Structure 1
């Protein structure tokens, strides 16, 4: 499969010892944690998720997101995003789904000092919260572009091969289409990152055939089979697929 093609889917610290990760602590409950506190690996998964302390600004953004239903990435996912952005010296990043700014703050923490984040979200409330989060930590306005609108309307207007990293965390039914656009936007060596790839343990269970789960499976399979990508699926948070564009 060509590098730019993903088939479209149609269809509808101060770490305290804990036994399981709670929604109140990390937001997007890790798929691994939802197996229950009695699972032999539950404490290890919790330790990994909460390994890095969260900044006060990120914690505030997390609470703000919960207040209006924008589920934030988990703490473990946030720290992974920071590492990924830092590893490739990211200067130009696209985020599909602004949430309340938790993932944006994580990306900024790993980006170059002159890096610019383009964040797309259809909900004005989400973008206002993200803007507030960025300003709280002193990120100047010229370092972020918050674009209000449907991602499939906005993304085609962005420049080919101009971005180092694209994070997808929005409508699951459109993951395949977002991914196609992302591969066009990424430079060689750029990273495609997809949150909620394990979708509350549904992706791995063939008995789950709802539209969102099937859309995620379809997207993951297409990316895995794409010869223009090298990919891996991480169990961080609710699952994080990471692919490098060759």
Structure 2
């Protein structure tokens, strides 16, 4: 049986995504230049599609980088009639860069910026969200799931990035802390009867988990 994932697959998927705003192209170029791990073009389109399909107006990002994934979510929220996307990073510089990019995209009124630890920030909120995106340090994934369940509305969606961890999860001899955390999180989401989960093989693997009402 031939390999399922052709080496040209991601380039092909990215070619199917409609042309982005010039600021988005700038963000993509920066990621290539400095090797910053953004969700990617096809991944961003996937996030946007899910948010649009479920008419999400309240989105919380755990680990937001310089705002590339935030931009896809903010676009969806705008087209869904308005709402809020929470952008959360530890780093003041990344937060400042995100404010610049998202401001130039016209999303300043939609995005709320936090410079803080992401899971604790989510825990401190008092609302439930339509969609939560998890892209924090991978070792922290398992402990984040109970907090996410408390803040995700019934019928909401959890998206988790890097569930292949650059292919390292496929090596049974790899028992690093990060790999073990990804494996634990995968079991938590696929074996929990409160979630219906599928692992989507876009870029580094995106887990899509529906929180059953």
Calculate the TM-score normalised by the size of structure 2: 0.89
Q: Does 1:46 align with 2:11?
A: yes
Alignment of 1:36-185 (within 5 A): 41-52=6-17, 53-65=19-31, 70-111=36-77, 112-139=80-107, 141-160=108-127, 162-185=128-151
The unaligned stretches of length 5 or more in structure 2 are none
Higher helix share: 2
CA deviation after TM superposition for structure 1 residue 183, in Å: 1.4
Q: Distance in 1 between matches of 2:33 and 2:145?
A: 29
1:157-195 CA-to-partner distances (Å, cap 9, x unmatched) read 0125x2000001121110112222211111111000001
Q: Secondary structure at 2:72's aligned position in 1?
A: helix
1:15-40 CA-to-partner distances (Å, cap 9, x unmatched) read xxxxxxxxxxxxxxxxxxxxxxx987
Q: 1:181 to 1:50 in 2, by over 3 A?
A: farther
1:35-91 CA-to-partner distances (Å, cap 9, x unmatched) read xxx987222342113321333211212344566664211111000000010011000
Q: Is the 8 A contact 1:116 1:143 kept in 2?
A: yes
Alignment of 1:202-217 (within 5 A): 202-217=168-183
2:194 to 228, 236, 239: 228
Q: Say what the alpha-carbon RMSD is for the aligned residues.
A: 2.0
Q: Secondary structure at 2:169's aligned position in 1?
A: coil
Using CA pairs under 8 Å that are at least 6 residues apart, name the structure with larger relative contact order, 1 or 2.
1
Q: Distance in 2 between matches of 1:40 and 1:74?
A: 17
Q: Is the 8 A contact 2:67 2:87 kept in 1?
A: no
1:241 to 201, 207, 211: 207
Q: 1:214 to 1:149 in 2, by over 3 A?
A: same
The unaligned stretches of length 5 or more in structure 1 are 1-37
